[in-house]
């Protein structure tokens, strides 16, 4: 599937969604975000897709929401345009999302990465929330998700003081889970992780993602009750029987997602 600002390549159970506005360092305008959401919905509906990698290019993952759009919009337009709600649609994707970061992940670009389930980067990556330096604040969940990802003090320093993190600092903070080996394209690194997810039982992956995300919403006891329910439910799946059979037979499992 090819749109003008977002490209998709699908293979081996993985969709690779590529933000493709390099001249503007993938600044996210309404058109691009709309294309991203429709691409992700297509991946969500496609049973052959079991994990999704979102990347930019060596020009950057995304250098933020489009400042031109933000500069010209009035409050009512921003409130009624549906732009902000599009981030919720990204967050509603139940398949695993992996953000593959090279170069800039700033502002809305970092907020997009924070919505993703796994974030990986190469050595060139730079993470920041520079909104306050241009007179605005994060508006795509950044104040909430960044503090949950890296803690209060560093989130405050990034958002209030414009502190940027390089890949190693981001790894030390827990913002990313791994850094690609020197010189390895970050998309390859992310696709390898995605392919491992694609080999696991799809229903188990979906339920495990839902249970982990519940930890951000619910108190511990409610989260544990939710996990317990899903853990009981998954025992009814064909894939559980197949996983157990294949383990005993020392064979690779053939999962159907049922």
Residues that bind ligand COA (CB under 6 A): 24-25, 27, 63-68, 104, 106-108, 130-131, 134
Helix (H) or strand (E) holding 72: helix 67-72
> C-beta of 132: minimal distance to ligand COA in Å?
10
Q: Can you name the residues that pair with 101 across neighbouring β-strands?
A: 121
> C-beta of 232: minimal distance to ligand COA in Å?
44
> C-beta of 134: minimal distance to ligand COA in Å?
5
User: Is the Cβ of residue 17 or residue 63 nearer to ligand COA in the bound state?
Assistant: 63
Nearest residue to 104 via CA among 21, 16, 182: 21
Length of the chain: 258
| Cα 201 to Cα 133: distance, rounded to the nearest angstrom | 45
Residues with catalytic function: 65, 108, 111, 131
User: Is the Cβ of residue 29 or residue 39 nearer to ligand COA in the bound state?
Assistant: 29
> C-beta of 135: minimal distance to ligand COA in Å?
10
User: Is the Cβ of residue 24 or residue 86 nearer to ligand COA in the bound state?
Assistant: 24
User: Is the Cβ of residue 25 or residue 50 nearer to ligand COA in the bound state?
Assistant: 25
Nearest residue to 57 via CA among 5, 130, 14, 10: 5
| Cα 46 to Cα 60: distance, rounded to the nearest angstrom | 28
Give yes or no for a contact between 148 and 184, defined as CB atoms under 8 angstroms apart. no
Nearest residue to 175 via CA among 108, 137, 107, 120: 120
Look at residue 180 and give its three-state secondary structure: coil
User: Is the Cβ of residue 67 or residue 234 nearer to ligand COA in the bound state?
Assistant: 67
> C-beta of 129: minimal distance to ligand COA in Å?
8
Distances in Å between the alpha carbon of 147 and those of 111, 129, 225? 12, 12, 25
């Amino acid at each position: 599937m090819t749109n003008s600002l977002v490209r998709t390549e699908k293979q081996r159970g993985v969709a690779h969604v590529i933000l493709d506005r390099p001249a503007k360092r993938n600044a996210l305008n309404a058109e691009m975000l709309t294309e991203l959401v429709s691409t992700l919905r297509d991946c969500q509906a496609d049973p052959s897709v079991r994990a999704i990698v979102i990347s930019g290019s060596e020009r950057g993952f995304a250098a933020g929401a489009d400042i031109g759009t933000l500069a010209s919009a009035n409050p009512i337009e921003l409130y009624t345009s549906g732009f902000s709600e599009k981030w919720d649609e990204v967050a509603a994707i139940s398949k695993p999302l992996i953000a593959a970061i090279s170069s800039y992940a700033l502002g809305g670009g970092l907020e997009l990465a924070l919505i993703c389930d796994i974030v990986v980067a190469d050595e060139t990556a730079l993470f920041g929330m520079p909104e306050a330096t241009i007179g605005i604040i994060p508006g795509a969940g950044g104040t909430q998700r960044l503090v949950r990802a890296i803690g209060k003090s560093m989130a405050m320093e990034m958002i209030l003081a414009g502190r940027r993190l390089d890949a190693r600092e981001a790894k030390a903070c827990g913002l990313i889970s791994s850094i690609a080996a020197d010189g390895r394209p970050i998309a390859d690194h992310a696709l390898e992780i995605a392919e491992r997810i694609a080999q696991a039982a799809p229903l188990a992956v979906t339920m495990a993602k839902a249970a982990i995300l519940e930890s951000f919403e619910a108190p511990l006891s409610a989260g544990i009750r939710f996990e317990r329910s899903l853990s009981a439910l998954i025992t009814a799946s064909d894939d559980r029987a197949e996983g157990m059979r294949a383990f005993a037979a020392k064979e690779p499992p053939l999962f159907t997602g049922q």
